[in-house]
Amino acid sequence: MKSFPRADRIGSSIQRGVSEILRKGLGDPRLDMATITGVKVSRDLGVAYVYYVIPGDTAGRAAAAAGFKSAEGFIKRSLAGMLKMKYMPDIRFRYDESFAYGQSIDTVLRELQTEKDDVPDSGRPPEDD
């Protein structure tokens, strides 16, 4: 995907701003443990997709999604004041699946390492067929 410097700069600013808003606290316990992992801004600067992770199961993810949905307007207004932009992109929150995917790969690699460690070593080099 082609990179657009202005969109990248705005995305970085939005990420810092949303992280700061979360750090100060929104008063919503569903978002207390949320971490912002990245922001992608559309080419036309109309939409900013804010990616987050939250520890826990799918119920925690669903609760966080509902929390972000209810806080979208407040977060957008707060960001507009912080960033002083003429036009503030719409904010859309998305769960960052890449962390769960990475964790599943890590689990598979650990299982393979455990299986390898369980195979007794004969002390001889492998034979060629």
Distance in angstroms (rounded) separating the CA atoms of residues 94 and 60: 14
Please give the model's pTM, rounded to 2 decimal places. 0.75
Q: Is the pLDDT of residue 102 over 60?
A: yes
Q: Is the pLDDT of residue 67 over 90?
A: yes
pLDDT tens-digit readout, 24-53: 878 888 988 899 999 999 989 999 999 999
SS3 assignment, position 93: strand
Distance in angstroms (rounded) separating the CA atoms of residues 94 and 86: 25
- Identify the burial level of 41 via C-beta atoms within 10 angstroms of its C-beta, where 0-12 means exposed, 13-18 middle and 19 or more buried: buried
Q: Domain locations in the chain?
A: 5-117
pLDDT at res. 128: 63
Residues across the chain: 129
Superfamily of chain region 5-117? K homology (KH) domain (3.30.300.20)
Distance in angstroms (rounded) separating the CA atoms of residues 15 and 40: 9
Cα dist from 36 to 86, 93, 114, whole Å: 24, 10, 33
